[in-house]
Amino acid sequence: MDARKATTAELQTVHSADYVALIQGISSKSRGRQRLVQKRYDSIYFGPGSSESALLAAGSVIEVATQVAEGKLAAGACVVRPPGHHAEADEARGFCLFNNVAVAAHILAHTKVPYLCFMKIIR
């Protein structure tokens, strides 16, 4: 399966709009601007491709989780960087830019997929 980028709408289910915009634009900023943002988040390193990598990581987790929940895959695992589990709603932490699992879980919990999962369990 190919990686896909998480959409702004998907990311904003867990993250603030301002934070999503900041991270989405970080790779296009000058190196000096990246350093200023990096100082704000002391456990994060930003470089060319940082936001693109974070978008692909989050999108891939969402896609695999959705396909497992829909029964298209029996199981799934994502080995992605940045990992995402430390990120907060409006703050990068611990090398994480977006909270990939929280975004995927929120999307699954607020779509028809929980119903499909429930139906698979009771059959």
- 86 in catalytic set: yes
CA 119 distance to own-chain centroid: 27
Q: How far apart are CA 40 and CA 92, in angstroms?
A: 9
112 secondary structure, DSSP code: S
Query: Given phi > 0 = left and psi -120 to 50 = alpha, else beta, which region is 71?
Result: left
Q: Active-site residue among 15, 86, 106, 110? A: 86
Do 99 and 14 touch, CB atoms closer than 8 A? yes
Count H helices and E strands in the chain, helices first: 6, 0
- The residues annotated with a catalytic role in the active site are 86
